[in-house]
Every structure is written in structure tokens, then in C-alpha cells.
Structure 1
């Protein structure tokens, strides 16, 4: 079982001043394992990255809101994520991983605590595509809650599962720019398919994870053109996140302060930055205005 590297313990202080209500729309909490054990069938073991560490990073970077996304190392046990939502007292929203055994009462309880979506992994090294019958049934059930689905895909999955994506009726969010490969260029079929998807009003995308797109080392400048292209197509449905604590990074561990600086270069102006960090996540996740 693979062990993950810890995040960079020394993020730089960004020179970029973030707008009030700025949101990290993709981050995780892991453990601590002594309190919130990892799933027995996990494909990787992360270092503990508890809620206190996430909140401290957000305070340091100037991020007032966040979305805690359940990761596969905790499986369908969403306890650590839900603990973060409760301790955040409205500062955080959540995205859960569930299976067919989830009850309507459990979904409603998650909703009360701030969960706003479910996530399905299609990524090969995390186990590959889910049971599509379960996928369809869960999506039918979350419609009444006005939740969305987060799709964690490898680039080729955007092509392979085009029919599955096309039949989704709830809003859907593509993680990490579809994990396209920068060395394959902007004209590669998966990225062109992703740009096409983003013309659909159901579709959202996170322009995070540049280290997963880049062919090089930090600060991952070769990922910027992909983020800008997505922002040009659907500026009202683009989100951003740190992806802290960056699980499964085998090349160059990002610096979270540098990731904020990269976002500033991609957005280019304060109005666009506010749209990505405040207005778009507020609309999708239902954050209270002014909080």
C-alpha cells in the first residue's frame, strides 16, 4: 500500500489579497487515524492531516470558507469530514462518498450539517469506475436535496464515459481540470471534450490540481493555459481549491501559497478572482451571504 508524502509545512504568504468570503472549494481532512481510522481497502495511506491543520492553513492564506471533500482513503465513512463541518460552524461545506446502503435519513442528516454533494472516483489508481447502477441510483436520490455530483476522472475517462456524463441530471463538477496532461497540449481530445462539456449549464469545473496536470515542477506554469481556457468558456461555473494536503503527489509537492499566486495569474483581475473564489462557490454550495 502506497504511503503519501506530507504537505509542504512552510507555505509562503501570498502577496495576493483575497476577497472577503474567499473559498477553497477542494480540500481534505485525513484522520487523525487514532480517532478517524482509514478504510481497510484503501489504495494509499496519507499522513494525518486533521481539521486543525486545514483551518490553520486557511487562516494563514486568507481563505474564509472551504469545501471538505471526502477522499477514498476514508472510504464511505464520512465521520472525519462531518466532524470538520460541525467544528467549522458554517465556515465549511462538504462532499461525501456514499454507496447503495446509505439511507434517506442519513442523507438528510448530512444535508443538515452542510454536505452539498457526493463524489465518485473513476481514476484507475484509486480503483477505477464505480458500479454504474449504484452511481445512477445515488444521483436519483440526491436530486431532492438539490445536491451535485463530483466526478474524479482521468483524462481518458472524459471520452470513455461521455454517455454516462451526458445522462446526469443534477449539476456535476469535474475535479482537477479533468486531470489532463499538459504535455499533450490544449488540442488533445480529452481537453477539447472538457471544453465542450463546460458549455452545458449543468457542468462545473475546478481549476485546481495544477501539479496533477503539469509536466514539470512547481510552480506549474504549464497548467495555467488550461485553467484560462476553462475560465474563458464558463466563468460562472469555475471553482478553485488547494487540494490540501495533496494526496498521491509523487513528483513535486506544491506550496499552497504559490498555488494562490498561480490562481491570481490565471484570473488576471479582481472581478474574475472574486467570481471564482466567492460568487461561484457561494451559488453552488449555498454559503450564507456575508458569512
Structure 2
């Protein structure tokens, strides 16, 4: 499968912490059958799946066997692995994790212009249903938009969707890009809006207007640990944001742990993150839509 990553040489870059050794069991509710963690990653193991020499951070190994233990503790059965920038455009670790799931997992890849149609066909056969672009500053900033559109239109032919990772302050600058999107698109982590600025802040109001008015727009109500004041629990200040998005478009909201939480200093407890979904969606039917029906609609798990 195509990749631009040369052999791994462990450059001197920033090393980030790994997740907690063990998640707690959720207590607020029991996850329904086929509940999905719709945003998580696998890192390495580096001996088998080297990290990209162009990466901006180096995580410790957090492979699919570690992820299985987290899923078992949380009572979840499905997952969407999202390719992270530390592996660059080499999606091998993600594809291996999907294959290990035997139909329970799907993926969102990162690709570049070197990918052939055969490469994309192989990804599709391995339950990849989207590609991701990072626009956030700490991961290298916005992509070249000419290349961006070339890749978007290539995967649109396969009816994939586009996952977009923005900094809140930049979200409003890309309205024209979103308006021109030919396929569904997913905004990661509630556009990374800081909870301390309140739901009336301009970036969140733009996001709320977007999901309300554009049926192509999906949003992940993930990463409370990145949005909350102080970056540690409790996450009460994030609840109004998630509730507003759910109220606006309950059939286009996804939830995920973001395990193993790259680029965080204080690691959250995944059981606590799942419990938070009960605060986001007190109604069981709505909660089940977010955890089961919505990811099934977007990823068509086999």
C-alpha cells in the first residue's frame, strides 16, 4: 500500500504520554449492543508499524491488543480507527487493527497523491470509509488546498466522507470549503471550542449553525478532556455544548474516546468519558442513536 514514509530513524522530537494503564468500568449506564467508539487510534507497535519520520510527536506503543482491553472494560463492541499524524500516510497499523476486528471495526485513513486507485480499493475492502485532514497548528497546519480538493474528489467517487480537524479560532475561515464539499463531512471534537468561552462564542455558534443547516455535516462530541477548563475532570462545562449539537441534529452526531489521547499531559479515564454520554443524552433512545445507529449509518459495519 502506498506510503511516503522512509525507514524509521527515531528523530529527536517530542515524546507524549500514553493512556492510563486501565480504564474504569462505566457506572452511569450500560452500553447497548453494537455500541461504537467512533474516534480512536492505534499507535504501533513501532517495531512492526514504524512511526513517520515527519511526525510532530512520538507516542508510546498503544496497539490493538491494548485497545481490546479498553473496549472490554467499557462494554463496547464496535470502533472507528482514525489515522493519526504520527503514522503519516502509512495506514498499515490501522488496517491491521480493522482486520483484527473481523467486521466490528472501520477506519478513516490519511492519504496523499501517491495513492493509486488500487490502493484506495484495498483500503475500501478493509472497511475504510473516509479520509482525514488536519488543519490544527500543532500538527502542521492546513494542507495545500489544491491537493486537498484533488484527494476529496477522488474518494468522493467511492462515496467516502471527509473528516476535518480544526482549531476553533480557524473554523470560520473554512465556510467556503465546507459549502463546496461534495460528500458528507465530519467535524472532529466539536471544532475544539474552549468550554471556558461558553456556548455563545462565535466558533461554536458557527458550528451549531452549520450542523443545523447542512445535512452533510456531522460532528463528534468527543474530547471533553481537551475542551474543559483545566483539561481534567469533571467535564460539566462541556455538557451544554454536546447537548446543543445533539438537539440540533441527533442523527448526525458521533461519540468517541480519542484513545489513547495523543498530545495530552493529564490522561482521562475512558470509563468516565463514556459515563459523560449519559449527561450529554439523558434519553436512552437518543443515546443509543449516537452510539449505535449513527455510526452504523456512516460506516456500514459488516
TM range (shorter): over 0.9
Which residue, out of 17, 20, 27, partners 1:5?
17
- Check the 8 A contact 1:219/1:254 in 2, yes or no: no
Q: Spell out structure 1 runs of 4+ moving beyond 6 A.
A: none
Mapped partners of 1:218, 1:141: distance in 2: 41
Stretches of structure 1 that go unaligned for 5 or more consecutive residues are: none
Please state if 1:267 is matched with 2:260: no
Report the alpha carbon displacement of residue 219 of structure 1 after superposing the two structures with TM.
2.8
- Check the 8 A contact 1:219/1:259 in 2, yes or no: no
Mapped partners of 2:117, 2:227: distance in 1: 37
Summarize the alignment of residues 25-36 of structure 1 with structure 2, pairs less than 5 Å apart.
25-36=38-49
Mapped partners of 1:148, 1:182: distance in 2: 27
Summarize the alignment of residues 81-120 of structure 1 with structure 2, pairs less than 5 Å apart.
81-120=94-133
Mapped partners of 2:170, 2:158: distance in 1: 27
Report the alpha carbon displacement of residue 55 of structure 1 after superposing the two structures with TM.
1.4
Please state if 1:258 is matched with 2:267: no
- Check the 8 A contact 2:24/2:73 in 1, yes or no: no
- Tell me whether 109-118 or 158-167 shows the greater mean CA deviation: 158-167
Instruction: Provide Cα deviations, 1:117-144, integer angstroms capped at 9, x if missing partner.
Output: 0000000000000011111011111112
Please state if 1:234 is matched with 2:246: no
Which residue, out of 215, 218, 229, partners 2:233?
218
Mapped partners of 1:174, 1:213: distance in 2: 14
User: How many aligned positions are there?
Assistant: 287
Summarize the alignment of residues 128-207 of structure 1 with structure 2, pairs less than 5 Å apart.
128-199=141-212, 200-207=214-221
Mapped partners of 2:37, 2:227: distance in 1: 19
Which secondary structure state, in structure 1, belongs to the residue aligned with residue 219 of structure 2? strand
Mapped partners of 1:254, 1:165: distance in 2: 31
- Check the 8 A contact 1:27/1:242 in 2, yes or no: yes
Mapped partners of 1:160, 1:8: distance in 2: 36
Report the alpha carbon displacement of residue 166 of structure 1 after superposing the two structures with TM.
1.5
Mapped partners of 2:68, 2:181: distance in 1: 33
RMSD of aligned alpha carbons: 0.9
Residue 10 of structure 2 corresponds to none
Which secondary structure state, in structure 2, belongs to the residue aligned with residue 191 of structure 1? helix
Mapped partners of 1:214, 1:83: distance in 2: 33
After TM superposition, the score normalised by the length of structure 1 is: 0.97
Mapped partners of 2:74, 2:251: distance in 1: 23
Report the alpha carbon displacement of residue 158 of structure 1 after superposing the two structures with TM.
1.1
Stretches of structure 2 that go unaligned for 5 or more consecutive residues are: 1-12
Which secondary structure state, in structure 2, belongs to the residue aligned with residue 32 of structure 1? coil
Which secondary structure state, in structure 2, belongs to the residue aligned with residue 2 of structure 1? coil
Instruction: Provide Cα deviations, 1:236-284, integer angstroms capped at 9, x if missing partner.
Output: 000000100000013x321000001111111102101100000000000
Residue 208 of structure 1 corresponds to 222
After TM superposition, the score normalised by the length of structure 2 is: 0.93
Which residue, out of 235, 253, 264, partners 1:249?
264
Residue 292 of structure 2 corresponds to 278
Residue 4 of structure 2 corresponds to none
